[in-house]
């Protein structure tokens, strides 16, 4: 869900419970995307949210780009139960503007950011030998592990975000890109980040 796609004067409400009078936070657009925390009554630009509201730290949240993709734990008849930090959950009212996307879809559509704790292994096993990624710093999804859905097979790629788009690598060079297995989730805990920026 991209907050930047909200129209003028549209508002996104996140609730403490499945009760539409129990609001936790509202995110709304005027000239800039802003928020109001209903317990404290404080209002500010979304980019400043962390200075006022330490409890609101969704995993896929880039306020400077107006992007909010909360992890959905459960789909209820009227609400999505979403994670707002590592251990707390809130509720988002279901409607046509909030599109639910499975991680199967996101894994195929987005590059995976290679964090400091993320390791690539030759086999889908944390004890197997690690793969040397050389100078690559992104991962691209290839396939799921049929036996254990918490592991995926990936290919390491070079991040050209700040470079001119130029694909000069031969097919032979591409075939030599490091490949291996990563554990992308542990139960309901997502262990990876995506590059969601356009």
HSE-CB of 5 using CA atoms within 13 angstroms: 9
Give CA separation, 191 vs 84, 96, 103, 117, 175, in Å.
Answer: 15, 29, 12, 9, 27
Cβ atoms within 10 A of the Cβ of 170, count?
Answer: 8
**pLDDT at residue 169, rounded to an integer:** 56
Full pLDDT tens readout for the chain, 198 residues: 555 556 666 788 999 999 888 999 998 877 778 899 999 888 998 888 888 888 898 878 877 777 788 888 899 999 999 999 988 999 998 877 777 778 778 788 888 877 667 889 999 999 999 998 877 778 888 888 888 889 999 998 876 554 555 555 555 555 578 899 999 988 878 888 877 765
Cβ atoms within 10 A of the Cβ of 28, count?
Answer: 18
Q: Are 37 and 25 in contact (CB under 8 A)?
A: yes
3-state secondary structure of 172: helix
Cβ atoms within 10 A of the Cβ of 79, count?
Answer: 19
């Amino acid at each position: 869900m991209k907050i930047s796609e909200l129209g003028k004067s549209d508002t996104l409400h996140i609730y403490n419970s499945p009760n539409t009078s129990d609001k936790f936070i509202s995110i709304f657009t005027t000239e800039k995307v802003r928020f109001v925390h209903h317990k404290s009554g404080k209002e500010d630009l979304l980019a400043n949210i962390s200075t006022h509201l330490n409890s609101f730290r969704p995993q896929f949240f880039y306020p400077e780009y107006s992007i909010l993709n909360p992890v959905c734990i459960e789909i209820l008849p009227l609400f999505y139960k979403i994670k707002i930090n590592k251990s707390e959950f809130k509720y988002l009212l279901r409607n046509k503007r909030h599109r639910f996307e499975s991680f199967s879809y996101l894994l195929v559509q987005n590059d995976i950011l290679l964090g400091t704790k993320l390791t690539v292994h030759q086999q889908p096993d944390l004890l197997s030998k690690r793969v040397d990624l050389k100078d690559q710093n992104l991962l691209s999804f290839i396939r799921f592990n049929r036996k254990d859905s918490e592991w995926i097979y990936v290919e390491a790629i070079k991040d050209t975000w700040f470079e001119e788009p130029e694909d000069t690598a031969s097919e032979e060079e591409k075939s030599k890109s490091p490949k291996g297995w990563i554990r992308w989730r542990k139960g309901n805990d997502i262990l990876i980040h995506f590059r969601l920026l356009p």
